Structure 1
């Protein structure tokens, strides 16, 4: 990022279900383009989270190797709104840089 008007914000989630919910909150409540939101493992291992949820509860092979990170580049003026969306979705922690 070349200026100080945009920040990267990310949150950590226990399940893929809550991470997906956070994405929907960011898109619907904050007006963020879905292509600007990223979901990835918070570790180097592929994971569906640390707890089974949704479709993972019926699968014996769902990898539960760590938490899930959702990140977004967002205008500094929208940080509070994005933090609220993350927390409403069930974030374990929220950080901005």
Structure 2
């Protein structure tokens, strides 16, 4: 049964980690995965992480230029229920909220 599994992530880093887990450890075809802002505005998530965080910046000042206008949505087109379960588990591992589909 074809379906779409979607998760919403607070940071771009968490979204990318979930995708890498799916591709590298579970063999999900990367072309079936879409990463995009959940809303109409460009966004790096809802919280700073990675290069947007203070620890990653070479200066000691807090960064204020990250586009934190909403969550990052990751969606995966799948063909079977077993894969859907694997995807949901990987999403949960990296803190995804249910995207309301699949």
Structure 2 length-normalised TM: 0.82
Please give the alpha-carbon distance, in whole angstroms, between the structure 2 residues aligned to 1:66 and 1:6: 28
Q: Which segments of 5 or more consecutive residues in structure 1 lack a partner in the other structure?
A: none
Corresponding residue of 2:60: none
Runs of 4 or more, structure 1, over 3 Å off, are: 94-97
Please give the alpha-carbon distance, in whole angstroms, between the structure 1 residues aligned to 2:101 and 2:70: 21
Q: Which segments of 5 or more consecutive residues in structure 2 lack a partner in the other structure?
A: 58-62
Gap change, CA 1:25 and 1:94, over 3 Å in 2: farther
Larger strand fraction of residues? 1
TM-fit CA distance, 1:94: 4.7
TM-fit CA distance, 1:87: 0.6
Q: Which has the larger radius of gyration?
A: 2
Corresponding residue of 1:80: 85
Please give the alpha-carbon distance, in whole angstroms, between the structure 2 residues aligned to 1:75 and 1:24: 19
Structure 1 length-normalised TM: 0.86
